[in-house]
Structure 1
């Protein structure tokens, strides 16, 4: 910042929820993901993330790009087949099995959908700024629905698709930093009332919903700003130039049983001691917990 003109405000820290949560969860992973050049080698793609990505793509097409006449089961099946990829699966048999299971999951979710319904946003980027940070993210879907207060107007609802194994609860929806930041961003960008967040869990075809109020949103914003402040301080040290030992001190690992799911565990001795690397397909059937944000 030494070349900043006198009197000019400091640049805002630009971040997505994923970037903030990566810093909060493990500063070494943050360093490897956002700062190291070249980036350390990552492990193989995760099969459960392949499933989540394809399902998200198909639902984005269904709600955001296809006309009503195309929103049929046959079109969904064809799109799932043409979009399918085999990254991370154990073998072709497992890949094809999960293609069929994922197709059934999407068809079940869409069974009662209105082919003429047009959401307010699909894969919509929303953003807002605070005094210290510029926060943005891409929302799976933003619905505009009749307001529940009886005013006759409309309100927005934030919808996030989840394809992981674990059933979700209203606590998951309320505690999600990403969902709260999406609410604040949608309010700023779309100029509409928005308090409702929904996690749509496709494997069980259930919805975990929560209503935010000003107090809960303020708590999430304060948390986001606190993480951003710490990241700014750490990045400033990084850009000053650090020895490897100093870098490890500024960006320490956070070893835990979840390290086995980290993309960089193979290059992190502390992570390998905490948990061995998982097979790339383990997230499909293994009963061990996966971080919610990594479980699609």
Structure 2
């Protein structure tokens, strides 16, 4: 007695992170340079705004690693100093000014937000097979969320922002990364997750959105479409396809500050080169 499985083959699942999906959507050429070409092509140096964002993220993570009674504004400011780096700033003077501002941001964030609880995840890796409808999953979505809170039995995805603009509810709702973290966290941590929040540390504002099953499904469908395109291009490249054609450069203003500008002739022609500190939010007059 045997079993007839027909001609069915196990479905191949594409592993994707929100960063990979966003990179491919923004510029297929940058995706290839980042994830496929080896050795990795020449990149720019550090960007000051990226350094600033990383320091704030690291300081807030370190704060929540402390016992609740030690999570004071003063300790938060000290953690910024402990994690500080000068990479990308024009000089030590500029770096020092932004260090002081970052210390103020984080101290005020701790003063005006509830930090007397333990998040269920800090820089937590979450993963989930998803998509595909009745035929089963087509992708595995995974990534590292800044913070995951457990509020009354439901998970909340928290993402810290340090950029120039204050995010709004639309940005929180349309952020594919947050939606994917919500889907993956539900699977990984076995609790429902619909709420996502963007915490803009410089202004102390919170932009929040409540996802529905339908809105999450739309994000998953878009992720599936992007994943299918990038996997097809990757497979064709591996079979000897032309990388320039399969991963075209999508040029624009963003080429000014692309990490791979030194390795992309199209990007160099599309926009002037930005300085490593040009994307920093302007300092207030008192800080100049």
Deviations 1:132-187 (A, max 9, x none): 111101111111223xxxxxxx3211110000011111010000000100111111
Deviation at 1:116, TM superposition (A): 3.1
Greater shift, 109-118 or 258-267, is seen at 109-118
Report the CA distance shift for 1:115/1:229 in structure 2 as closer, same or farther (over 3 A): closer
Matched, 1:214 2:240: no
Report the CA distance shift for 1:25/1:114 in structure 2 as closer, same or farther (over 3 A): closer
Cα pair 2:42 2:263 within 8 Å, conserved:
yes
Deviation at 1:261, TM superposition (A): 1.7
Q: How many correspondences in the alignment?
A: 270
- Take 2:178 and 2:200, find their aligned partners in 1: how far apart are those partners? 15
What residue in structure 1 maps to residue 91 of structure 2?
91
SS at match of 1:101: helix
Cα pair 2:53 2:161 within 8 Å, conserved:
yes
SS at match of 1:89: coil
Deviation at 1:8, TM superposition (A): 4.6
Cα pair 2:74 2:107 within 8 Å, conserved:
no
SS at match of 2:127: strand
Deviation at 1:114, TM superposition (A): 4.0
Runs of 4+ in 1 over 4 A off after TM superposition: none
Matched, 1:13 2:14: yes
* TM-score (normalised: structure 1): 0.87
Segments of structure 1 that go 5 or more residues without pairing to the other structure are 1-5, 147-153, 287-296
Matched, 1:281 2:277: yes
What CA RMSD, in Å, does the superposition of the two structures yield over aligned residues?
Answer: 1.5
What residue in structure 1 maps to residue 100 of structure 2?
100
Deviations 1:250-272 (A, max 9, x none): 11000111111210122212112
Deviation at 1:115, TM superposition (A): 4.9
SS at match of 1:266: helix
Cα pair 1:119 1:144 within 8 Å, conserved:
yes
* TM-score (normalised: structure 2): 0.90
- Take 2:120 and 2:212, find their aligned partners in 1: how far apart are those partners? 22
Cα pair 2:78 2:103 within 8 Å, conserved:
no
Matched, 1:132 2:138: yes
What residue in structure 1 maps to residue 182 of structure 2?
183
Segments of structure 2 that go 5 or more residues without pairing to the other structure are 1-6, 131-136, 283-288
